[in-house]
Structure 1
């Protein structure tokens, strides 16, 4: 048979290399899951919908019978996927119910032993919410500011790759935080964002400091927890300044507007009314003609830079450590030098 694991038991075993396997349908998995888990669905989306219809319109027994028929037809391939995964494994479904129980039982009969997460994803989600509400996160924040296009996110990710403690809020949100922020990305919902954020907070809770970008309360459709915003307000504040032409090229490289022309036009329409009419008309023309550098430059000068200047007033001129550079590489080097001065590495 199989063993049910509480959240605490799962956390302890996960540290030793346990693989988490989500047996829910692909769409459920894509919506939100436990970070790092694999998806081996007992039923695909169509099969799940069919069984659900039978359950509500016919009977529970009829739904079980149809489910058994579906599983039986693909059992060898289903079992093989688990057999190919080395080491200890834990399965979960929505609430630790029939799908994970069926999976664990079938695997046990084939001498493949797995554990099951008690309460499933729903229980995990409750743990994430309660932990975020009660978490004492002590590291001081070093917050990166700067006009749109200054490469803040890329610099942070480069430093993260070097081992510096970074909380990539935009990466967790799957959104860049502006009207154009979802272009080319797959935005996460609040459940997935919270799970990814908690993973990072627990990993970095013993750090002396963490770096993050100066985000607002909302990034796309997700909300940043208040304690993160408070941590940001109380931290060191670094302002990056790069030439306008560098910022334009950074945006072109990151957003790749030539691959997403319609999305760019639609995003612009959401903010068009906030831009002076003649300038807005020029931007629309440039977008239509796919002259993206000209469009981006006007958007920066007549929309985004004004918005940043307004938000910057909150901090006051004396609260910033300013880093002026000609290139992103130079800016990254200066940020790294500042970090080594504030927090010398042994």
Structure 2
């Protein structure tokens, strides 16, 4: 049976685990941005998609349809087999809910495979998510803040595993939020970030609060939507403060600089003019010698900490200071803070 469904219906089916979302667009489109959680079973390869597009441009719609049908018919058995292997009913989509998803859904239906088709494709889903970002009631936030390397991301991700309501902004951006933050990662684009954030806000509508990390308005390639960012700025800020040697250990474990030596040199070259010349030379020498402990310590003392202190403008009534010796101790204190607030 073939059923056309709306973006809202798709989200609820996905949350209930009642569908597997299948992006039938070409791999290059899937990799750029897709509905979170979707898998890719494409009608066409990247090259075939380009060929069909060129045919449409030079010979018209009918010629493009004929070529598409010829290309797709050759892979039809493998296409059907891939859907039969899925462990739940599929929902297919393409860019605008056009020929590709219609073809996929019709063929699957003819083969007796139950399938949904997303009306309007990923374009409609993005529009719906943007509406949620613009209109959903924003939950109360508690913001984990503090200098670079204080374990904020570690605390949030561990709390999320324990069932706390956490929106991991850096995880969704695939960026750690610093000049070195892209190293070893493939940063998200704005479209993918907005889809992820919108879905998280929908999931947490009934929670008494949500935990996030203190970020600037830009994280790598993405910008936090203004409405959500301003809400963060007026929310309670939990400032984590760990000893500098502990912070250095955390950063070294997170970034694995020995595996990305050249990337570290490149990133440092972009900020070295902002650091006092003697210190900059010391850091450059330590980098050359692969003395990453010295590199990180000097960057914290002479670049990140002064820059962070200068940019912190929160009023005292919003700030709770959590001074501990380790990430585990800081996490325990955060949990105690939340317990007191929830039971007030």
Normalising by the smaller structure, the TM-score range is: over 0.9
| Distance in 1 of aligned mates of 2:173 and 2:304 | 20
Name the SS for the 2:163 alignment partner.
Answer: coil
Name the CA distance, whole Å, in 1 between partners of 2:79 and 2:328.
Answer: 48
Separation in 1, partners of 2:284, 2:67: 54
Secondary structure in 2 aligned to 1:251?
helix
**Is 1:156–1:211's contact at 8 Å kept on the other side of the alignment?**
yes
What does residue 259 of structure 1 align with?
259
- CA distance in 2: counterparts of 1:272 and 1:303, whole angstroms: 9
Query: Which string of whole-angstrom CA distances, capped at 9 and with x for unpartnered residues, describes residues 167-216 of structure 1?
Result: 11111111111111111112111111111111111111111111111111
Is residue 271 of structure 1 aligned with residue 251 of structure 2?
A: no
User: Counterpart of 2:60?
Assistant: 59
Q: For each residue in 1:252-301, what CA deviation from the matched residue of structure 2 results, as whole angstroms up to 9, or x when unmatched? A: 11011111111111111111111111211221222222211111111111
Aligned partners of 1:12 and 1:177: how far apart in 2? 31
Cα distance in 2 for partners of 1:262, 1:116 equals 46
- SS, match of residue 239 in structure 1: strand
Aligned partner of 1:152 in structure 2 is 152
Q: Distance in 2 between matches of 1:2 and 1:339?
A: 47
5+ long unaligned stretches in structure 1:
none
In the TM superposition, residue 317 of structure 1 has moved relative to its aligned partner by: 4.5
Aligned counterpart, 2:123:
122
TM norm structure 2? 0.95
Q: Is the 8 A contact 1:141 1:234 kept in 2?
A: no
Q: What's the counterpart of residue 221 of structure 2?
A: 221
What SS is found at the alignment partner of 1:116? strand
The equivalent of 1:343 in structure 2 is 342
Aligned position for 1:234: 234
Does the 8 Å contact 1:91/1:115 carry over to 2? Answer: yes
Secondary structure (helix, strand or coil) at the match of 2:167 reads: coil
- Structure-2 residue corresponding to 1:296: 296
Matches within 5 A, 1:245-256: 245-256=245-256
Within-5 A mapping of 1:1-346: 2-16=2-16, 17-137=18-138, 139-312=139-312, 314-317=313-316, 319-344=318-343
Equivalent residue of 2:192, what SS?
Answer: helix
Give distance in 2, aligned partners of 1:53 and 1:175.
36
SS at match of 1:82: helix
User: For residues 329 and 9 of structure 1, do their structure 2 counterparts lie closer, same or farther at Cα, with a shift above 3 Å needed?
Assistant: closer
3-state SS of 1:34 partner: coil
Show CA shifts across 1:122-143 (max 9, x none).
1111111122111112x32111
Shift of 1:335: 1.1
Asked if the contact 1:151–1:250 (Cα under 8 Å) also holds between the matched residues in 2, the reply is yes
**TM-score normalised by L of structure 1:** 0.95
Contact 1:94 1:120 in 2 (8 A): yes
Whole-angstrom distance in 2 between the partners of 1:140 and 1:68: 52
> Does structure 1 conserve the Cα–Cα contact (< 8 Å) formed by 2:144 and 2:239?
yes
Q: Summarize the Cα distance change of 1:116–1:145 in structure 2 as closer, same or farther, 3 Å threshold.
A: same
Alignment RMSD, CA only? 1.6
**C-alpha separation between the residues in 1 aligned to 2:234 and 2:248?**
31
CA distance in 2, matches of 1:344, 1:271: 45
Task: Decide whether the 8 Å contact of 1:3 with 1:116 is kept in 2.
Answer: yes
- Give, in whole Å, the separation in 2 of the partners of 1:7 and 1:315: 38
SS in 1 for 2:325: coil
SS for the counterpart of 1:142 is strand
Unmatched runs of 5 consecutive residues or more in structure 2: none
The alpha carbon displacement at 1:339 in A equals 1.3
Q: How many residues align?
A: 343
Moved more, 41-50 or 55-64: 55-64
